[in-house]
Structure 1
């Protein structure tokens, strides 16, 4: 009997002294948490990875034997609260207010997530600053001042975006061997990309290669790589008429089917408008084109419209309706016109502004975007 008691006591001692698993993530809320506390991992879809258990003193702990690197999302009662990057640093602790409308969270033991939250904060600051800037715009503007006022807003918004992009990129570079650069490339401030795909195409390409080398089998990385491949193909295509390049030497027939070499036209600053008579966005531009360009045409700007129409009568009718007293060209092949491909364009309308040396100084789809470039070009 004595041996039986001793054996039982030994077993109890071993059980009580058996080391417990260390949680890889602990939450220390500053208020009571009730309900489900879950962690989702992003792969092809966001799927439930782990569910926290409530420990002593109101702490919540995530405990699991194996935790793969990846992008995770913390959910409280089914509501997404924060994004995390779980790398190789364990354990991590998050403290603060775990409420959707009062996210004051801090993290220790996970520098990648700390950096991610700083980047997210910068993106939110950019959105707020842009919102405040737009809210300060006057309700009414004298017509003569509209272009200049609008230009100042574009300049101010771009300054905000560029500054935040530099700050975020600096942080991402300090964590280049993690998944942070992947998330940083996708940040937006409202409807503004902080890293616009066309402007930062080289950075997208560099980031994709770096991620594929480190995380070749992680689905979000493979998906990003596919997006970047498409972007690079498009960028190479678009580069034909990229700002700073020489305008392509191509020919397009005029209304009398006489071939006109576009490069031979450019002996002075020239604005090419690629449009179509039954395209609403195109007609929005042509409807204001003559009035909008008048002061620049008086200073020597040449305007040439290249139509993607396939109906001669509709094309000529639109020219008459919008009183477009400028040079017009079209091969009347419509959407199958080789002109689009020769100019590296995949959509209409487009505006290409060149200087007198055939160098493209501005490429845009909005007439108002030309203001600064035109003023500078005509000044010189």
Structure 2
């Protein structure tokens, strides 16, 4: 009996000295048995963090560590990148499916942030397929007279598809604002098309930057993202003379007949300045809507002027004619080399500047629909 008790005590001591650790990530393959799985953490670049071990009984791969820092990871099977993961305090979690196909079909449980990331990545992949389908309809040859129409039609379809997917991704970001997901989501691309243009959407990107720095300020990828955003903001909205709340610069610009016009002498009531370029797709989308969209506001007193950053007079005048823009048009025909481009603090066009009767910029945007509340308020007052 004494020897039996000593044996039991030894077994208990051995068990206590080698406690069974709980895996923070388990992989279960529905296809070929997995053999070599590694997890890489993103710092300055991806660095090996952990290697999986095989549970002989269940044949699952398990990642086991005492401490797993919050961050962005990449799962690799046999040195092949499989998926990005966001690991936070929601441990443990598991991934199952077929890891061995060209595009793995995986299911994740216990990690809602990564599930949301995969949803965003799936949206960008679908967008890429949509863009490829749109581009496939470009005819092999086009009459010169139809070129602009065909080009604008293709670009418009692509922009509509991008904006639709962007709204879908924005909803996901909103639900996971307090995680690292926005850092990856706003860097998604669909082929050669960035879903988020960081300069065009500087306000949103800056808001995300502030949120990330507040929560993950010491994480290297967040530091790098923050530095990039700060660089954009320094040359965009925060140093721009056309930032909301500032008075529009007093500048002289030639009209379509070459006569110089002092901009500040034009603005004595609510005014909309459209900064555009005739061969810019987004600009033309706005110009083709502009007369109809502003008709009721113009009847109530809104003045509308267009300032072009063209460098081709014929193309500029032809676009005015095609889009029936019966407005005052100004341009020094120096394109983006125009001093106005810097004076207005621009990094991209088009831009829509809504001003009150004192030349104060009350709204700056790239979309007509975003002007509605501000225009209605100005006209009401």
TM-score by shorter chain over 0.5: yes
2:271 is the alignment partner of 1:272? no
Q: Deviations over 1:100-134 (max 9, x none)?
A: 50310010011111111111101111111111111
Task: Report the counterpart of residue 126 of structure 1 in structure 2.
Answer: 127
Output the CA distance in 1 between the equivalents of 2:115 and 2:308.
48
Larger radius of gyration between Structure 1 and Structure 2: 1
Output the CA distance in 1 between the equivalents of 2:148 and 2:69.
53
CA contact (8 A) 2:313 2:333 kept: no
| Structure 1 pair 107–197 and aligned structure 2 pair: CA distance change class (3 A) | same
5+ residue gaps, structure 2: 267-302, 367-381
Moved more, 28-37 or 109-118: 28-37
Output the CA distance in 2 between the equivalents of 1:195 and 1:307.
28
CA contact (8 A) 1:273 1:352 kept: no
Output the CA distance in 1 between the equivalents of 2:352 and 2:156.
19
| Structure 1 pair 178–4 and aligned structure 2 pair: CA distance change class (3 A) | same
Output the CA distance in 1 between the equivalents of 2:353 and 2:107.
52
Task: Report the counterpart of residue 305 of structure 1 in structure 2.
Answer: 332
**RMSD of aligned C-alpha atoms?**
4.0
Q: Deviations over 1:226-250 (max 9, x none)?
A: 122122222226854689x997432
TM-score (norm 1): 0.70
Output the CA distance in 1 between the equivalents of 2:150 and 2:254.
39
Task: Report the counterpart of residue 79 of structure 1 in structure 2.
Answer: 80
CA contact (8 A) 2:253 2:263 kept: no
SS in 2 for 1:235: coil
Task: Report the counterpart of residue 23 of structure 2 in structure 1.
Answer: 23
Task: Report the counterpart of residue 7 of structure 1 in structure 2.
Answer: 6
Q: What's the offset of the Cα at 1:15?
A: 2.5
Trace 1:96-111 onto structure 2 (pairs within 5 A): 96-99=97-100, 101-111=102-112
Output the CA distance in 2 between the equivalents of 1:95 and 1:60.
10
2:32 is the alignment partner of 1:53? no
Q: What's the offset of the Cα at 1:296?
A: 6.6
Output the CA distance in 2 between the equivalents of 1:188 and 1:228.
18
Output the CA distance in 1 between the equivalents of 2:20 and 2:352.
69
Moved more, 125-134 or 229-238: 229-238
Trace 1:82-93 onto structure 2 (pairs within 5 A): 82-93=83-94
SS in 1 for 2:67: coil
CA contact (8 A) 1:73 1:82 kept: yes
Task: Report the counterpart of residue 376 of structure 1 in structure 2.
Answer: none
TM-score (norm 2): 0.70
Q: What's the offset of the Cα at 1:288?
A: 5.3
| Structure 1 pair 298–160 and aligned structure 2 pair: CA distance change class (3 A) | closer
